[in-house]
Structure 1
Amino acid sequence: MPDWRPGVGAVVAFTGHAYVCSDRQPARERLETLGCNGFGGATLPAVAMELAGPHGWIDCLDVLLIAHGRGLQAPALRARPDLADHPRAVHARLTRGEVTTFGYADPHRRDVATVGQGPGDLPMIGVEVDEPGRGSRIFADVLDLLPPDLVLASVAPGNARSLRAALRAGFGIIASVQLFVPAAESDG
């Protein structure tokens, strides 16, 4: 499949099948030799290292989630350009296009939500809360902000609190995703 977004590749694994999204056209035989398959093998470390190359960048393995925006008239989140340098926003700009940062109106709250252009031009979000336990609210508040179309999110499976919060807010699990940037694009 084509790149996840320009310069960023991905392995997207569903139940029983997986896709390598890369404009570099990796050799199928080589990937199969490394164990790449739709039954967990597509996310093996050797496969990720082959796709990224020895000096490429490999992101963590994430759960890929999907929901529908709700497009409320008065969402709780506001555009917060002052949060553009937040580490969550910096990371979002590496893997998504046209990233905007949102937060609550109180300028002292450092909760941040990013909305950017993901695969298939679908909005893709990321969130980080300043205080543990408020995650389900910010996931729901992002959905309130977005129009009633499909919305993607990704969460590290080991971040159980965040994953539970996304599920409570209405997201459903559809796949796993592991992003990578080949060495030529990553500049180390």
Structure 2
Amino acid sequence: MHPIAEALTRAANGDFPPVDGVVERVAPWRDGVEGVLAMTGHALLAVGGDVTAEQVEALGGNGFGGASGPRLVAGLAGTGWIDALDIVLVAGGVGGEPGLVPRSDLRNHPRAQHATSVRSEVATFGHVAVDDHTLVTLSRGIGGLPEVGVEADPRHEGVGADLAAAALTLVPEGEVVVAACAPGNARALRAFLGAGWVPVASVQLWHPARG
């Protein structure tokens, strides 16, 4: 298990890293994607071996917020693409009878395309009606853990929490699942919280282009 997956799995069970201000260096979990997972007073930085400890320190890297600082992230990404800073939420899969069906016709949805750019094994699900554009993505995401993304059909109101709960039927019972949500997307954040998801960290990803 990747160290970030291990940290998130422990956090899902209430076991967090020490509040020591440390930036823990780990290898990237996916080729071409780097990132930082920040927890309370401790961060895990997934970067290539060409990045030195001296560079991280010079860019202000520390476990008390510095590892997510714009200066450090921009410095490590170089001219590469940088994703938004997200809240990381965790939950447990529930398995059982899926409340969603495979929807390969939604692969071109912008949310699915974004998932493909930073995650692996992306599958798209939704409701049976072909004119319903509700989307749930399931993939191998942060640290290699199952990661879901959700977006309700804009014609439906107040269904976000139900959708965030339905996504858990796609994952075997008890398996830790993660989701990333922009802090400013209050509607989505309330939906995840309403479905029992728990915030444990922040994450920011980038495609490095150094030099």
**TM-score when scaled to structure 1?**
0.92
State the SS of the aligned residue for 2:117: helix
Which residue matches 2:12? none
Give ranges in structure 1 of 5+ residues lacking alignment.
none
State the SS of the aligned residue for 2:82: strand
State the SS of the aligned residue for 1:167: helix
Q: Deviations over 1:63-96 (max 9, x none)?
A: 01110010022x2210000000000000000111
Which residue matches 1:83? 106
Which residue matches 1:182? 208
d(CA) in 1 for partners of 2:59 and 2:207? 19
Please tell me the residue identity of whatever aligns with 1:153. Answer: A
Which residue matches 2:80? 56
The correspondence for 1:115, drawn from 108, 127, 138, is: 138
Q: Give the C-alpha shift of residue 57 in structure 1.
A: 0.7
d(CA) in 2 for partners of 1:12 and 1:4? 12
Runs of 4+ in 1 over 6 A off after TM superposition: none
Q: Give the C-alpha shift of residue 121 in structure 1.
A: 3.0
Which residue matches 1:67? 91
Matches within 5 A, 1:25-174: 25-53=50-78, 55-73=79-97, 75-131=98-154, 132-148=157-173, 149-174=175-200
Bigger mean CA offset, 108-117 vs 18-27: 18-27
Q: Deviations over 1:5-63 (max 9, x none)?
A: 2210011100001111012442222222222111111111111111111x201000000
Which residue matches 2:11? none
Which residue matches 1:17? 42
d(CA) in 2 for partners of 1:12 and 1:124? 15
d(CA) in 1 for partners of 2:143 and 2:81? 22
State the SS of the aligned residue for 2:136: strand
d(CA) in 1 for partners of 2:85 and 2:208? 16
Q: Deviations over 1:80-117 (max 9, x none)?
A: 00000000000000111010000011111111010001
Give ranges in structure 2 of 5+ residues lacking alignment.
1-25
Q: Is the 8 A contact 1:4 1:10 kept in 2?
A: no
d(CA) in 2 for partners of 1:61 and 1:121? 19
State the SS of the aligned residue for 1:176: strand
* Identity level (%): 48
**TM-score when scaled to structure 2?**
0.82
Please tell me the residue identity of whatever aligns with 2:201. Answer: A
Bigger share in strand: 1
Aligned length: 182
